[in-house]
Structure 1
Amino acid sequence: MAMPVEGGTLSEIHQSARKLLLKARDGVEKLERLESSTSNGGFDSPELSFAVKKDISQIQSLCVEMDRLWRSVSAKSQRDLWKRKVEQIAEEAESLKGSLDKYLVRNQRRMNEARERTELLGRANGESAHVLRIFDEEAQAMQSVRNSSRMLQESFATGTAILSKYAEQRDRLKNAQRKALDVLNTVGLSNTVLRLIERRNRVDQRIKYVGMFLTIVILYFFWRWTS
């Protein structure tokens, strides 16, 4: 026999609890299906999990109310029957609550793992960019060294060619001097003319050595500038 109470009879409250229980069970199953599809590109539903949690809380509140009401039933057989019914509703609600809590824990773990992967990927990208930047700077430095080395080699080759020209000119001057002396000796020029020629020869040699020294100095400073 159902007893009238404020807000509904025991039967009415039990019927409401059964409807909420079916709704909550359907919500939990849907969350689990969504969780299964998440690994294959599915999605989560925070709104649904919140709604299921709210339904379970309401069921538990109704169980508290029904537990109070069935104790007021006068007939023992009816009282025992309602006790089993209320306990069954409470157990199913507690089972759904356990399933929902496990789902929420798994969902939180997935969210944490996704956040950690995102952070690791961000750090990896940052480190890769830093390594690439270092490689680029080293490549630029190596290219600069190669350019400087090439310029130095070209300058050295130019200096060597200049010195070679000086050596050729020196040989030609010696040959010319030797021929001139032979000619002068042949025509019998005076010792004064010979001394003038020797003095000119010494001047030419000084000019030659000064030119060689200046060339070496210029090459040295150019090498210091490019290194």
Structure 2
Amino acid sequence: MALSVELGGGTLSEIYQSAKKVLLRTRDGLERLERLEHAGGGIDSPDLSTSVKRDISQIQSLCAEMDRLWRSVGAKSQRDLWKRKVEQIAEEAQSLKDSLDRYDARNQKRATEARERAELLGRANGDGAHVMRIFDEEAQARDSVRNSARMLEETNATGEAILRKYAEQREFLKRAQRKALDVLNTVGLSNSVLKLIERRNRVDQWIKYAGMILTVVVLFLIWRWRR
């Protein structure tokens, strides 16, 4: 619904549409700046950066104009709606400005580092070979430290593998020892049982023979008594 409230550049709806277009263009420009930064090792594009800054300023001016216009809308529901729309545009513009500020800070940092490197080489008074030798020695020292660390890691890994192997062998020997003791205990128990059975068989035989003899004696006595 286009509103007829006007101030200089057009209606509130027209200014809002213009702000949206500039916002899209600004976002696209900032994305291109960041792609150049990452793809080109920190390459800056001053013209594009200036264009993005100008677009952000334009959006903020449009937001200020819309902020005055929505307050003149008659219906409260429409006022609240436009208030939220204008605040959303203003927040997006501020977010883009913050991103651009961070981009500028990174560029400034890179420029400072480049200048410091140039000054360092300049103070060498043409003794570039000496500077390069220092850099090479530092690089060799770093490589040596990395190699030593890698050797220590490999040695540690080998030691751990040996200890694990010893632990496995110790567990195997313990299991074998337990099995041998179990076998010996079983054999010892079997021998005891066999001896007990043999003794019981002998006792049973004695009881059987004694019973047979006692039976014969009783029968003999009965036979004699009847006669």
TM-score range, shorter chain: 0.5 to 0.7
Larger deviation: 42-51 or 58-67?
A: 42-51
TM-score, normalised with respect to structure 1: 0.54
Runs of 4+ in 1 over 3 A off after TM superposition: 127-131
CA contact (8 A) 2:121 2:128 kept: no
Higher relative contact order (Cα pairs below 8 Å, separated by 6+ residues): 1
Residue in 1 aligned with 2:174? none
Structure-2 change in CA distance of 1:128 and 1:23 (3 Å): closer
Q: Deviations over 1:90-121 (max 9, x none)?
A: 00000000000000000010011111112212
Gap regions ≥5 residues in structure 1: 132-227
Residue in 2 aligned with 1:180? none
CA contact (8 A) 2:20 2:89 kept: yes
SS in 1 for 2:44: coil
TM-score, normalised with respect to structure 2: 0.54
Give the number of equivalent residue pairs: 129
Tell me by how many angstroms 1:71 deviates.
0.4
* 1:31 and 2:33 matched: yes
Residue in 2 aligned with 1:18? 20
Structure-2 change in CA distance of 1:116 and 1:5 (3 Å): same
Q: 1:4 aligns with which of 6, 13, 19?
A: 6
Tell me by how many angstroms 1:123 deviates.
2.5
Q: What fraction of aligned residue pairs are identical, expressed as a percent?
A: 73
Gap regions ≥5 residues in structure 2: 132-227
Tell me by how many angstroms 1:5 deviates.
2.7
Give the partner amino acid of 2:105.
Answer: V
Q: Deviations over 1:59-112 (max 9, x none)?
A: 001000000000000011111110010000000000000000000000010011
RMSD: 2.0
Structure-2 change in CA distance of 1:124 and 1:12 (3 Å): same
Structure-2 change in CA distance of 1:24 and 1:130 (3 Å): closer
Residue in 1 aligned with 2:123? 123
Residue in 2 aligned with 1:73? 73
Structure-2 change in CA distance of 1:63 and 1:123 (3 Å): same
What is the rounded CA distance, in whole Å, between the counterparts of 1:46 and 1:12 in structure 2?
A: 31
